Chain A
Amino acid sequence: GAGVSQSPRYKVAKRGQDVALRCDPISGHVSLFWYQQALGQGPEFLTYFQNEAQLDKSGLPSDRFFAERPEGSVSTLKIQRTQQEDSAVYLCASISTSGTEAFFGQGTRLTVV
Chain B
Amino acid sequence: AQTVTQSQPEMSVQEAETVTLSCTYDTSESDYYLFWYKQPPSRQMILVIRQEAYKQQNATENRFSVNFQKAAKSFSLKISDSQLGDAAMYFCAYRSAVVDKLSFGAGTTVTVRA
Using CB atoms and an 8 Å cutoff, list the residues of chain A in contact with chain B. Answer: 31, 33, 35, 40-45, 48, 56, 89, 91, 93, 95, 100-102, 104-107, 109
Contact = CB atoms under 8 A, between A and B. Distances in A.
A104 B45 contact: yes
A29 to B, nearest CB: 11
A106 B43 contact: yes
A31 B43 contact: no
B105 A42 contact: yes
Interface string B16-32: 00000000000000000
Given A33-B100, A48-B100, A101 B47 contact: yes
Chain A facing B: main interface SS:
strand
Interface in B24-72: 33, 35, 37, 42-45, 47, 50, 52
A91 B43 CA distance: 9
A100 B101 contact: no
A100 B95 contact: yes
A48 B4 CA distance: 19
A41 B100 contact: no
B84 interface: no
Contacts of B104: 35, 42-44
A105 B43 CA distance: 9
Contacts of A35: 104
16 contacts: A33-B101, A42-B4, A42-B104, A42-B105, A42-B107, A56-B99, A100-B50, A101-B35, A101-B50, A102-B100, A104-B37, A104-B44, A104-B45, A106-B44, A107-B43, A109-B43
Contacts of B6: 42
B102 interface: yes
A100 B33 contact: yes
B112 interface: no
Contacts of A106: 42-44
A107 B41 CA distance: 12
